[in-house]
Amino acid sequence: MDIREKINAFVFPKMNRTFAIRLAITVAVCFLFFKFVCKPVFLSGGSMEPNYHDKTLNFCWTPTYLFRSPRKGDVVALRYEGDRVMLLKRIVANAGDTVEFRNGTLFVNGQAVREPYVKYNEGCWNLPLRKVAPGCVYVVGDNRGMPIEQHKFGEIRKSRIEGTLLL
């Protein structure tokens, strides 16, 4: 079989039984992979700017936390409304930690946290001290330039974490 025939066979495959089985397996594997392992997510909203942009496509990698626990600094996708709407946030504190914001600076366990990923910060976020409940993590978006009232962040159950972002 010369190269032209090979290309022809690849582009216009014969619809025989073997090809049908291969096609069915490929479709099934792709479906399972993108449904449960590497979920496509369309980012909507600017709470993670400038690190993750509004109206972009990304992938949520779900096996990450099969082998380790969520850590501070991880950017995670969180199930918010059923399994269709997710929040994208960064973990800043674990269960038992105390969290507070003073003039835009995040304090965890009384210590100011260095956050190189925060590029927009008006310095006006203030939040009284609170302790993260057992079984929960504290998540915040990277965009601190938006008013604190408009920003969805806070304590959320670990079981809500769907995975980390691939890109």
Chain contacts with another protein (rule: CB under 8 A): 78-83, 85, 87, 127, 139, 152-157, 159-160
Dump strand ranges (E) for 18-153.
38-43, 56-61, 75-81, 85-93, 98-102, 105-108, 111-112, 127-131, 136-140
Structure tokens at 54: 């509004």
Identify which of residues 87 and 118 has a Cβ nearer to another protein in the complex: 87
Q: Tell the smallest beta-carbon distance from residue 10 to another protein (Å).
A: 30
Q: Which residues, at least 6 apart from 122, have a Cβ–Cβ distance to it below 8 Å?
A: 104, 144, 145
Q: Which residues, at least 6 apart from 27, have a Cβ–Cβ distance to it below 8 Å?
A: none
Q: Tell the smallest beta-carbon distance from residue 85 to another protein (Å).
A: 7
CA atoms within 13 A on the CB side of 113: 21
Q: Tell the smallest beta-carbon distance from residue 155 to another protein (Å).
A: 5
Q: Tell the smallest beta-carbon distance from residue 44 to another protein (Å).
A: 15
Identify which of residues 10 and 154 has a Cβ nearer to another protein in the complex: 154
What's the DSSP call for residue 50? Answer: T
Identify which of residues 116 and 128 has a Cβ nearer to another protein in the complex: 128
Q: Tell the smallest beta-carbon distance from residue 15 to another protein (Å).
A: 23
Q: Which amino acid is at 72?
A: K
Identify which of residues 72 and 152 has a Cβ nearer to another protein in the complex: 152
Identify which of residues 43 and 132 has a Cβ nearer to another protein in the complex: 132
